Structure 1
């Protein structure tokens, strides 16, 4: 029996990619681990809590040669701190970790881009992503801030972010998602957010993104204003929601948490992740 363990991390959106195809993400320290083993046989068995088994299986099929799958039974166990279906890149963290584990278990010689595209394609084909979420997989794999073009699967820029900053994430009890395709109506504003990010003005970009998506996905602009007044450097809906993320220094975290306290839901405080994903054989 051969085995491997891969660890990735979640991320938040600074600029939503659906409107323009350009997206910006930043890694968080919420971890995802995938353990994989193979024995002689055939088939894929997946042990997970609510993650898309179809996406995981497609990721494996995308990166592992068919002749290897024909003679090996694959077992996959997923353990993740990243809340599912909240805009915190849980699917990208899992698909990337699955692809990484495959490279160790099957001793595959693939490029980083091939590895990331295996999960990106699986996300599209399984219906968990609209754009393929290349910006998301970059955030989960590389950490730090990543600027990417999703439709072309190109990463334009990477930057490490100060570890003194914290990410305050509010997850509302009501997780109903709205029609994200309407974001294309705000493409001109989202493009302005993208250009701010290209200039290194990440927190301004995050706020402009928050204001752009607010009429379609929420939250109300007044909430973003309250978060800024409480000390946040930037605040926005993350991805397609419903999570709301704010970035601030440690000393402002308590004030920002108080803004969320009257709202039904819960808050997660996490560090920024600048560490690249890693995997090893067991």
Structure 2
């Protein structure tokens, strides 16, 4: 019997926010989230352990140790990475055959019950699981399609603010549902970067945004820059590493915290430890 596994996941950025009832979409970036999973005392993650036991209809408790963290409450899908890593880790511990969309739907349902997500965030979960970009109907818990993202550098600007999903003004998003049709049209044309920018703008009308970070990126060679969904983190896309590095240096000189990344098309993976 496997005693412990290490799950290697990553962050993702919002391409289309599903709070309004629109299609959801997220794209994976190379920003590691690593978790060790074993049997034992779950500590502060007791609720997550119970959800894993429920999903696999087993007794006992599971211990989760996060080795590498994604910045939390920034719009970088840290909660989805946490739940997905726990579920897939327990699946491997138990030798279960559960994977793919069935596993992702269980994760989405658990995320709602744990109070970590409003919609279940199937878009975030599937992007982290498969890599690349995922487009979903979160209302029906259905993946519409997945695709690859361009191999481009991505710069993430963190914020000192924090925004959790349940603090989002969901009613206001729903009142703006028609505005997201433009985002959905771009998704269907596979114009993911353009969809991401418009989505970030629409979310910023409700949540506010870090205009200084966005303008600094656009004035310093970013091809696209926007808030990651509800934010507050801001992401910029660049043609090459050199352009990204020059912009990162300017932001750092202003005292901003940045993380250098790129779109990632490979999926989650697990090793025995």
Whether these two folds match at TM > 0.5 is: yes
* Distance in 2 between residues matched to 1:246 and 1:58, nearest whole Å: 38
Structure 1 residue 147 displacement after superposition = 0.9
Structure 1 residue 160 displacement after superposition = 1.6
Change beyond 3 A, Cα 1:7–1:254: closer
Structure 1 residue 257 displacement after superposition = 2.9
Structure 1 residue 26 displacement after superposition = 0.7
How high is the TM-score relative to the length of structure 2? 0.88
Other-structure match for 1:209: 199
Consecutive unaligned residues of structure 1, counting only runs of 5 or more, are 39-43
Q: Is residue 108 of structure 2 the alignment partner of residue 120 of structure 1?
A: yes
Structure 1 residue 13 displacement after superposition = 0.5
Structure 1 residue 171 displacement after superposition = 1.0
Change beyond 3 A, Cα 1:230–1:20: farther
* Distance in 2 between residues matched to 1:220 and 1:173, nearest whole Å: 11
* Distance in 2 between residues matched to 1:35 and 1:199, nearest whole Å: 39
Q: Is residue 159 of structure 2 the alignment partner of residue 167 of structure 1?
A: no
How high is the TM-score relative to the length of structure 1? 0.85
1:182-197 equivalences under 5 Å are 182-197=172-187
Partners of 1:189 and 1:209 within 8 A in 2:
no
Structure 1 residue 230 displacement after superposition = 2.7
Change beyond 3 A, Cα 1:242–1:264: farther
Instruction: Pick from 233, 238, 248 the counterpart of residue 243 of structure 1.
Output: 233
Other-structure match for 2:34: 33
Other-structure match for 1:76: 64
Instruction: Pick from 254, 260, 267 the counterpart of residue 258 of structure 2.
Output: 267
Partners of 2:203 and 2:229 within 8 A in 1:
no
Partners of 1:172 and 1:266 within 8 A in 2:
yes
* Distance in 2 between residues matched to 1:54 and 1:189, nearest whole Å: 40
Partners of 2:48 and 2:114 within 8 A in 1:
no
SS in 1 for 2:178: helix
Instruction: Pick from 122, 129, 133 the counterpart of residue 145 of structure 1.
Output: 133
1:15-26 equivalences under 5 Å are 15-26=16-27
SS in 2 for 1:130: coil
* Distance in 1 between residues matched to 2:181 and 2:254, nearest whole Å: 31
* Distance in 2 between residues matched to 1:140 and 1:176, nearest whole Å: 20
* Distance in 2 between residues matched to 1:185 and 1:54, nearest whole Å: 36
SS in 1 for 2:54: helix
* Distance in 2 between residues matched to 1:189 and 1:255, nearest whole Å: 34
Consecutive unaligned residues of structure 2, counting only runs of 5 or more, are none
Instruction: Pick from 140, 147, 157 the counterpart of residue 145 of structure 2.
Output: 157
SS in 2 for 1:155: strand
Change beyond 3 A, Cα 1:147–1:172: same
Change beyond 3 A, Cα 1:213–1:81: same
Partners of 1:142 and 1:276 within 8 A in 2:
yes
Other-structure match for 1:180: 169
Change beyond 3 A, Cα 1:259–1:187: farther
Structure 1 residue 236 displacement after superposition = 2.0
Instruction: Pick from 208, 225, 237 the counterpart of residue 218 of structure 1.
Output: 208
